[in-house]
Amino acid sequence: MQNGYAGKFLQVDLTAGVCSDFTIDEARLKKFIGGSSLAASLYLERFDLHADPLSPENPLMLINGPMVGSGFPGSSRFAMASKSPQTGIWGEAACGGNFGPELKRAGYDGIIITGKSPNPVILSITNNQAEIISADHLWGKDIYETTDLLKAPDKNIKVMAIGPAGENRVVFSAIANDRAHYIGRTGLGAVMGSKNLKAITARGNQAPGKADEVKYKEMFKAAIAEIKDSAFAESLHLMGSDAAMDLGTMTGDVPFKNWSSAEDPEISSKLSGPTLTEHYLTKAHACSNCPVACKRIVAVKDGPYQTEEGPGPEYETCGTFGTLIMNSDLAAVIKANELCNRYGMDTISAGSAIAVAMELYEKGIINAETADGMKLEWGNMETVMELLGKIARREGLGDILARGSVSAARHFGSDAVDSVAHVKGLDLPMHDPRGYHGMGLAYMMSNRGACHLQHAAMGMEQGMVSWPQLFDMKEDYDGQTSVGKARMVFNAENYGILGNSLSMCHYVLYAVKPDTVRDGFNAITGYNFDFNDLLVCGARDWTLKRGINNLLGITVKDDVLPKKILTALNEGARAGSVPDMQLLRDEYYAIRGLTPDGIVSEEKLMELGLLELKAKLYS
């Protein structure tokens, strides 16, 4: 091992039951770095983009970045990617925890999985060796049970696993890393389930090398000092990501009643980080090599929503199972989070699908018979718990919702789609673009569909970070205007997307200076990139994925905000505010190098060295 990389990748053909190693040349690594960027380059080169997402031909890729396993703060994340069964376009998600570093210690920078096993299997990786073993005894078990059984012989084994939702191809099913960390968005758990792959385990004892140990130690100390000095990092440590609930409510960031109602502070205060800390927190938990420790370990000790001690809800989950469905019972949110964890479902899309169902029930589009006799009133958490099980098992109304919010709404009629807040088929995260128009543009242009993590726009717009080398956020910056937001979003994408290439947590990326990140990366890899070189890699990443989506049919028609967001609220912090979609898109297209149809221009492809993509787009 040297310079941040293990030096080889694992190719797995589950149909043939064969595992083999392959390497990637340094020129490609310098061009795409790692993570989802490298995955996209391999996807374009090696696979049929038009294969069905749940077919054996569609690959499931797990790729580390060079900073994973280095010990640098926040460098535990890895990316998974595939064609999404939820959206039908490029799908990816990133995850922290411990699996990424352990995979590198086991000798691999990544895994590409194709085919379909005739029976349920586990992919077991230990110190440069991989084998496929039976998982018949685990099929049907939830993620907690599966993880505990696989870790029983050795608690240091790291486990990636799906639950019943992934087995049953729920299109927003998730993959869990050691119970507490989730590949949640775009439905990659369904891809894993379609291959009859129940789990992946990793165990290794090899230490990744660094090009310049002295410089690395200097940058490590600098990063630690910057994190200790960060008020943002401190708030995350004390209250987790749910620290955003109170301030978000005041500024118009938090959605209520399926994006249709103004803020209700009485509800949100009962769901906030301080409330979670005071009543349910048992301890904080950290991903590998992270001094922030933002993860919450919680327990509901009594009442109808009692839970065992385990991973607590993030802000997004407190939104989807709280404000979005008008529930103020935090214990019920914790229980819903536990059920999603066990079944293996993305809490954003699961909660959003239920919110849509509640709105359609209120409008009479879903009746009592269609609802399987359940009362889908706002805030009815008994129904939510029952419905989560039905979704995971694909029973009754649950089977319809398991297809995703957009597909489910279409099932109930064309007008029902207006009840869904989505971009390109992916449900919006719990941040309202009517409060911050730059976020609206970032949703429109995110390559995996609506996303708050494919960029750093949220951190920049909401004042969590200040990066003058990226964009001068003036004191009179107005979130509720669309003018001039395109440049900010462009820069926020080019830098923020690096988190999924370098494999760094966005929270740490927000807390550490960009120059420190650059110098830490150079010390590990020996590449000697300047800051602009990194931004070019970010631009190349975005452009490559956009081009893949262009090949899959994405054009200007898809770069839109949903009717929910284009409808102004009459009161609250967002009253009267609606993003100017046309203005945002026109300004952005000019900066990003897209044609009026939303296709990456030949000139931009040439500039970024994406010649293979150019040949496929313009042949």
| Portions of the chain given CATH number 1.10.599.10 | 427-496+530-617
Count the neighbouring beta carbons within 10 Å of the beta carbon of residue 335.
Answer: 23
Please give the sequence-ordered ranges of beta strands (E in DSSP) within 55-203, or none if there are none: 60-63, 78-83, 90-95, 110-114, 121-126, 129-134, 158-161, 175-177, 181-183, 197-203
Question: pLDDT for 215-239, tens place per residue?
Answer: 999 999 999 999 999 998 999 999 9
Question: pLDDT for 327-345, tens place per residue?
Answer: 999 999 999 999 999 999 9
* pLDDT for res 456: 87
Q: Does the pLDDT at position 1 exceed 60?
A: no
| Portions of the chain given CATH number 1.10.569.10 | 231-420
CATH topology of domain 9-203: Aldehyde Ferredoxin Oxidoreductase;  A, domain 1 (3.60.9)
Give domain 427-496+530-617's CATH number out of 1.10.150.250, 3.40.50.1110, 1.10.599.10, 3.50.50.60: 1.10.599.10
18 strand-pairing partners: 13
| Portions of the chain given CATH number 3.60.9.10 | 9-203
Cα–Cα distance list, 477 to 438, 577, 583, 588 (Å):
11, 15, 18, 18
Question: pLDDT for 362-420, tens place per residue?
Answer: 999 999 999 999 999 999 999 999 999 999 999 999 999 999 999 999 999 989 999 99
Would you say 113 and 121 are in contact if contact means Cβ atoms under 8 Å apart?
no
**pLDDT band at residue 155 under the 50/70/90 scheme:** very high
Would you say 496 and 506 are in contact if contact means Cβ atoms under 8 Å apart?
yes
Would you say 226 and 516 are in contact if contact means Cβ atoms under 8 Å apart?
yes
Range list of H helices, 435-575:
437-445, 457-461, 485-496, 506-511, 514-525, 531-551
* pLDDT for res 459: 84
**pLDDT band at residue 210 under the 50/70/90 scheme:** very high
pTM for the full model?
0.97
Rounded mean pLDDT, 574-600: 97
Cα–Cα distance list, 410 to 89, 121, 388 (Å):
19, 35, 20
- Name residues whose C-beta falls within 8 Å of residue 325's C-beta, 6 or more positions apart in sequence: 257, 258, 351, 354, 355, 358, 378, 379, 384
* 231-420 CATH: 1.10.569.10
Instruction: Return phi, psi of residue 159, to 5°.
Output: -125, 130
Question: pLDDT for 286-329, tens place per residue?
Answer: 888 899 989 999 999 999 999 999 999 999 999 999 999 999 99
Q: Please, what sign has the CA dihedral across residues 437, 443, 447, 453?
A: positive
Rounded mean pLDDT, 8-29: 97
Rounded mean pLDDT, 533-554: 97
Report DSSP state, residue 332. Answer: H
Would you say 457 and 439 are in contact if contact means Cβ atoms under 8 Å apart?
yes
Q: Does the pLDDT at position 281 exceed 70?
A: yes
* pLDDT for res 2: 63
Rounded mean pLDDT, 5-10: 95
